[in-house]
Amino acid sequence: MEHYRINHLRELEAESIFVLREVVAQFERPVMLFSGGKDSIVMFHLAWKAFHPLKVPFPLMHIDTGHNFEETIKYRDDLAEKTGTRLIVKYVQDSINTGRAVEEKGLNASRNVLQTVTLLDAIEELKFDCAMGGGRRDEEKARAKERFFSHRDEFGQWDPKNQRPELWNLFCGAKNMGEHFRVFPISNWTEMDVWQYILMENIEMPSLYFTHEREVFCRDGAWMASAPFMQLKSNEKVEVKKVRCRTIGDITCTGVTLSEANSLEDIIQEVAASRVTERGSRADDKRSEAAMEDRKREGYF
């Protein structure tokens, strides 16, 4: 017998695919921002599904802080090669070398904020008129007010108080010269949806998301991965723990979680039982109550 119901994941999938197709139809030079994290992996998977049997009709772009988990880079390169997708990598180090960006100082120094400079320069240089990102509205309260199609002025800035209304499924990408759009195809997904979808679709994930032994240290109650460019305070010491990443970003501001989860089912159980949000250990959000809004206004992801 025929039935006319789809579950919540298939409905989210259908919505995201609709948005991705609108992007390709409405913009001349779209690009998909790819960090190698779970959200961008899911977003890319959706793009693959949206245009099949056509290859993904836009390039991927990674804004590389240089402070990466090695495995992320390998995953990124393999994915691009396997699917025949063009990959653009832009380095924050280049922005620093040319004096466009200045390295932060101090113990909590991070290149997270500097990515905005590199990103906006790349958008201008390569004349992209739309950059898709894996941002989700459930991640953070400034993101909760973000549109699917989010307008950026000629300075790449977001004006949260003056956003264009977005009604029904009518996404409007009209703009003037020099302006661009940020589009967030998985706006309506939660962390749980992302993991359930990865399980349902059996998407291969970097092993960083599963339990592994790693050198870590504890800062302000959060576990951080140890890396050569991280400075330790006198009371912090490196130890080996069983951990996994709940989000993957720049090492300097991505916490790891003590975890024994070694399958997607385990991760889903862990997410369901968790009492802190995934960004709870993101040092970049803890800088102030409006840290994300401020970065987004400037043109952050």
Partner 1 sequence: MSGKDHGYLDMELLRFTTAGSVDDGKSTLIGRLLYDSKAIFEDQMEALEQASISRGGEEVNLALLTDGLRAEREQGITIDVAYRYFATPKRKFIIADTPGHIQYTRNMVTGASTANAAVILVDARNGVIEQTRRHAYIAALLNIPHVLVCVNKMDLVDFSETVFEQIKADFSDVASRLDDQDIHFLPISAKLGDNVVDRSTNMPWYSGETFLGLLEALPVGQDWNLEDPRFPVQYVIRPISDEYHDYRGYAGRIASGVFRVGQEVVALPSGLKTTIEAIDFAGKSLDYAFPPQSVTLRLKDEIDVSRGSMIVDAANQPQQSQEIELMVCWLNEKPLVVRGKYQVKHNSNEMRCIITEVKYKVNINTIEEIHDDLSVGLNQIARITIKTTKPLFFDSYKKNRDTGSLILIDEATNNVVGAGMIL
Angle between helices 8-26 and 38-51 (to 10 degrees): 70
**Nearest to residue 249, comparing CAs of 293, 192, 206, 199?**
206
Angle between helices 38-51 and 191-201 (to 10 degrees): 50
Q: If you write DSSP's letter for every residue of 149-168 in order, what string do you get?
A: EEEE-TT----GGGPPP-BT
- State which of residues 166, 236, 266, 270 lies at the interface with partner 1 (CB under 8 A): 166
- Cα 249 from chain centre: 8
- State which of residues 39, 64, 121, 138 lies at the interface with partner 1 (CB under 8 A): 138
DSSP three-state, residue 16: helix
Q: Contact, 185 vs 20, CB < 8 A?
A: yes
* Region binding partner 1 by CB under 8 A among candidate stretches 103-111, 166-174, 231-239, 242-250: 166-174
- Distance of alpha carbon 86 from alpha carbon 4, whole angstroms: 38
- What is the 8-class DSSP label of residue 276? S
* Region binding partner 1 by CB under 8 A among candidate stretches 75-83, 106-114, 190-198, 210-218: 190-198
- Nearer Cβ to partner 1 (50/61): 50
- State which of residues 13, 64, 129, 284 lies at the interface with partner 1 (CB under 8 A): 13
280 sits near partner 1 (criterion: CB under 8 A):
yes
Q: From the CB of 274, what's the least distance to partner 1, in Å?
A: 7
Q: What's the first-to-final CA gap in the chain, in angstroms?
A: 45
199 sits near partner 1 (criterion: CB under 8 A):
yes
Q: From the CB of 129, what's the least distance to partner 1, in Å?
A: 13
268 sits near partner 1 (criterion: CB under 8 A):
yes
Q: Where are the beta strands (DSSP E) in 73-211?
A: 87-91, 130-132, 149-152, 180-183
- State which of residues 86, 127, 145, 233 lies at the interface with partner 1 (CB under 8 A): 145
Q: From the CB of 171, what's the least distance to partner 1, in Å?
A: 9
- What is the 8-class DSSP label of residue 106? S
- Distance of alpha carbon 208 from alpha carbon 54, whole angstroms: 30
- What is the 8-class DSSP label of residue 68? -
* Region binding partner 1 by CB under 8 A among candidate stretches 58-66, 195-203, 208-216, 251-259: 195-203
- And the tokens for 259? 């975890």
- Contact pattern from residue 64 through residue 83 relative to partner 1, giving x for each residue in contact according to CB under 8 A and a dash for the rest: --------------------
Q: From the CB of 163, what's the least distance to partner 1, in Å?
A: 7
- What is the 8-class DSSP label of residue 139? S
169 sits near partner 1 (criterion: CB under 8 A):
yes
- Nearer Cβ to partner 1 (14/102): 14
Interface of this chain with partner 1, residues 90 to 109, rule: CB under 8 A: none
- Distance of alpha carbon 188 from alpha carbon 170, whole angstroms: 16
- Nearer Cβ to partner 1 (34/184): 184
* Sites of contact with partner 1 (CB under 8 A): 2, 4-15, 17-18, 21-22, 24-25, 48-55, 137-138, 140-145, 160-161, 163-170, 172, 174-176, 187-188, 190, 192-193, 196, 199-200, 202, 268, 274-277, 280, 289-290, 293-294
